[in-house]
Structure 1
Amino acid sequence: MPEPVAPENTWKAPVAPGPLDASVRVPGSKSITNRAYVLAALAGEPTLVRTPLDSRDTRLMLGAVSALGGGCETTPEGVLIRPIAAEGDDPVSVVLGNAGTVARFTPALAGLGARAVRFDGDEAIRRRPIAPLLDALRRLGMEIDDDGRGAPPFTVRGQGGVRGGEVELDSSASSQFLSALLLAGPAFAEGVTVRLVGDAPPSEPHIAMTLDLLRRFGAAPERDGTVFHVPPARLSCPDYTVEPDLSTAAPFVVAPALTGGTVRVGGWPERTTQPGDWLRGLLAELGQEAQLDADGLTVTGTGRVPGATLDLHEVGELTPVIAALLCFADGPSVISGVAHLRGHETDRLAALATELSALGAEVADTEDGLRITPAPVHGGVFHTYDDHRLVMAGAVLGLRAAGIEVENPATVGKTFPGFVDAWAGMLA
């Protein structure tokens, strides 16, 4: 059972006073920001990244780029990234925190230099899977010492470059393994050809996002089913603008479904590879109205939600918010396709089943998802396990249930440091 929580370390999630009428803005996409930072670090000239997310995860990525020899400068227009210069041979360390993108995207960059680079972070990152990626990097010519753990801490001993070439990869636990190899591929002497083995990676949209950013930076990735090829290339993208984070927008766009009224999310892109765009179709399926125009997305809700059967394999990061929403549905719901969530910031399936049930809902975790039987939700502490998406789920619960005390709301700083204030503003 979770440890007792001090009252000063909780946030009382506000109850919606009635139908909403609000406009909100969410910060830049974490997934896009950190991919753009990696590619900018590999480019042949500086890159200005506009409207990036400023959060713990993205600051950790900037710290990694700096440790590896790149330059990072905050300007009034955005963040200016200067490419990594493979100079020096003194050992350095990269701090991972609990950032999966940093842990998975930066080891390949360390192989391009000539120094030993140690990677370590929070206790939680040591439990997140990375062994298939490390094994693939070894086969591509990198020297990595992890004492057989297949997890941080580990050390990459740079040899002044990475051979690259062909490699098989099991990316079924995380699409980030595949993205890590593809993002680094342009800097490998032979590029990279990745043949996927095992089950399909989760979150196809994130793979499409990686391929799209590679093209934006001048690479020429190719895909033939489960085979991906990225040839060597000199990258360049002097000016890049990051889209708003649509997954971070999830609690705001589902709110009217529980409260009625309207919420407008500014800047929602008309075309995007972000998995969060799937929310528009979900809202329609649940009987809500979602209209997209040049100004953004306008959601008008009914205040009632039907039960649903949802395969969230491609959009697993939305599961916590959707599960909280379905606790108030008119009938039972089933979420499937998200077994990989057991290896995220925490075992999200077990955490959701435990915490939602503790507050009155009947929620069971299955082999690959959740089974939700709505029941009256009451107040109490909602433990968040240092997981930003669980903070957002707790906020959604609070819309309809008084007395929800969300543990450690500051952990939402991983993706949206201003979330609590923005949430209160929506309800004002």
Structure 2
Amino acid sequence: MTRWNAPVSGGPVKAVVRLPGSKSMTNRALVLAALAEEPSVLRGALRSRDTLLMAAALRALGIGVQDEGVDWTVTPAPPAAPAAVDCGLSGNVMRFVPPLAALADGEISFDGDPHARVRPMGPLLEALRALGVTVEDGGRGLLPFTLIGTGGVEGGSVTIDASSSSQLVSGLLLSAPRYARGIELRHEGPPVPSTPHLEMTVRMLREAGATVETGPDVWRVAPGPLRGGEYMIEPDLSNAAQFLAAALVTGGTVTVRDWPAVTTQPGDRLRELLPRMGGEVTYSGGDLTVRGTGRIRGIEADLSDAPELAQVLAMVAALADGPSRFTGIAHIRGHETDRLAALVAELTRLGGDAEELPDGLEIRPKPLHGGVFHTYDDHRMVMAAATLGLAVPGIEVENPATVGKTLPEFLDLWTNMLEQ
């Protein structure tokens, strides 16, 4: 299917949704399990393009990953070379796997999709060089590149600018327990975005037995063994955004099952953001429910800690009764596509009024019409288009299959939501 006609809501949506596991937790668990001293089981792992790429990358390095079904098994082994790693368009793979692969003895090559070759990698590669790893990238600081490992990494102190992605920090921290001296990592530069993902990395490291100390823009991971065992993967709360937003857009009620009471997932900010936009949010018995009130309000919000919510929230804002401004998200220009430019282009194409800011986006609601909504091989652009399509007839969504990156079941889940 090259285009998908986004369905228009026939009235208030009333639905209950169960979401598959968190991509961020699944991929972190895979890396930690690969470095552990005994096998691990991932309960409720997400099966999507990004997580399958991670599993394939680990297998290319000689690590056993059984990824059939909802529970996956990882059998650790020392990373082996030579190997070739396909990163696809996954920021997790291109930033989490090189620090692990540096433990191998030999050459490991990395490449990915065409747009992956422009995503920021330079700070990570320079950090690996500072830790004693040989990296051949032609001076580009981008994919493709080759690591030449010597069977171990000394580790120690290193400073990077991680203002383009928190994954640059997480990637180094996840493998640091296996470095001879661990790591002391300092960030210098504008603030690191997506800080909940850093909290997730630290929490999962500690749960695996690592000793981690943190301070303002500094992380210390001591060398030592990691435990295998069982990882319980939470539902992906970022992928809840469009479903809960449907309640606001249609004046309906949507419940997401098994929402964790306490979590490090950035998607948990929906509890605070959706009420500000006019929804009513309740949490009971592990279920999060959003009820639309028939009014959508414009807001100003700093999304630096939850940038993956920006696209869906932008669509809701385009339907609001006043302007909205989302800031703290300059770095999403370097995500799967230039997300700020893409949002402005697509809203403008449909008659909207949106403007890029130095660090975000301003949206001034206007009457919208149907048309082709280009998605730029970006899964969250598909989800954003579906959200807008609930209220704007005639939206044709380009390349809906790109949702396979994090939520292959999206179209079925969306249709089922509207049919309940």
TM-score normalised by structure 2 residue count? 0.98
> Which of 13, 17, 24 is equivalent to 2:17?
24
Pairwise mapping of residues 338-353 of structure 1 onto structure 2 (< 5 A)?
338-353=329-344
How well do the aligned residues superpose, as a CA RMSD in angstroms? 1.0
> Which of 59, 64, 67 is equivalent to 2:57?
64
Question: CA offsets, 1:309-345, max 9 Å, x none?
Answer: 1111111111000001100000111111100010000
2:260 maps to 1:282: no
Q: Which amino acid aligns with 2:146?
A: T
What secondary structure, in the 3-state scheme, does the structure 1 residue paired with 2:24 have?
A: helix
Q: Is residue 384–residue 406 contact of structure 1 (8 Å, CA) maintained in 2?
A: yes
Instruction: Look up the match of 2:396.
Output: 405
Question: CA offsets, 1:110-154, max 9 Å, x none?
Answer: 111112000001001001001011000110111111011100100
Aligned length: 419
Q: Is residue 55–residue 67 contact of structure 2 (8 Å, CA) maintained in 1?
A: no
2:120 maps to 1:129: yes
C-alpha change, 1:377 and 1:92, in structure 2 (3 Å) is: same
Aligned equivalents of 2:69, 2:324: Cα separation in 1:
47
Q: Which amino acid aligns with 2:310?
A: T
2:43 maps to 1:50: yes
C-alpha change, 1:181 and 1:287, in structure 2 (3 Å) is: same
> Which of 116, 137, 143 is equivalent to 2:107?
116
- For residue 354 of structure 1, report the CA deviation from its aligned partner: 0.3
List gaps (5 residues or longer) in structure 1: 1-7
Aligned equivalents of 2:241, 2:69: Cα separation in 1:
28
Q: Which amino acid aligns with 1:135?
A: E
- For residue 74 of structure 1, report the CA deviation from its aligned partner: 3.2
Q: Is residue 391–residue 411 contact of structure 1 (8 Å, CA) maintained in 2?
A: yes
Instruction: Look up the match of 1:388.
Output: 379
Q: Which amino acid aligns with 1:33?
A: T
Pairwise mapping of residues 350-365 of structure 1 onto structure 2 (< 5 A)?
350-365=341-356
Aligned equivalents of 2:161, 2:21: Cα separation in 1:
30
Moved over 4 A (4+): none
List gaps (5 residues or longer) in structure 2: none
Name whichever of 288-297 and 111-120 sits farther off. 288-297
Instruction: Look up the match of 1:41.
Output: 34
What secondary structure, in the 3-state scheme, does the structure 2 residue paired with 1:402 have?
A: coil
> Which of 55, 71, 79 is equivalent to 2:72?
79
Aligned equivalents of 1:16, 1:129: Cα separation in 2:
39
- For residue 10 of structure 1, report the CA deviation from its aligned partner: 0.6
Instruction: Look up the match of 1:258.
Output: 249
C-alpha change, 1:14 and 1:75, in structure 2 (3 Å) is: closer
- For residue 86 of structure 1, report the CA deviation from its aligned partner: 4.0
Q: Is residue 218–residue 237 contact of structure 1 (8 Å, CA) maintained in 2?
A: no
What secondary structure, in the 3-state scheme, does the structure 2 residue paired with 1:363 have?
A: strand
Q: Which amino acid aligns with 2:31?
A: V
> Which of 410, 422, 427 is equivalent to 2:418?
427
Question: CA offsets, 1:213-235, max 9 Å, x none?
Answer: 10111111100211110001210
Q: Is residue 47–residue 70 contact of structure 2 (8 Å, CA) maintained in 1?
A: no
Q: Which amino acid aligns with 2:27?
A: N
TM-score normalised by structure 1 residue count? 0.96
Q: Which amino acid aligns with 2:50?
A: D
Q: Which amino acid aligns with 2:7?
A: P
Instruction: Look up the match of 2:204.
Output: 213
C-alpha change, 1:86 and 1:275, in structure 2 (3 Å) is: closer
2:173 maps to 1:182: yes
Q: Is residue 216–residue 237 contact of structure 1 (8 Å, CA) maintained in 2?
A: no
Instruction: Look up the match of 2:315.
Output: 324
Question: CA offsets, 1:19-46, max 9 Å, x none?
Answer: 1111111111111110110100000111
- For residue 237 of structure 1, report the CA deviation from its aligned partner: 3.1
Q: Which amino acid aligns with 1:81?
A: V
Aligned equivalents of 2:389, 2:307: Cα separation in 1:
22
Q: Is residue 56–residue 413 contact of structure 1 (8 Å, CA) maintained in 2?
A: yes
Aligned equivalents of 2:88, 2:197: Cα separation in 1:
21
Q: Is residue 279–residue 290 contact of structure 2 (8 Å, CA) maintained in 1?
A: yes
Q: Which amino acid aligns with 2:376?
A: Y
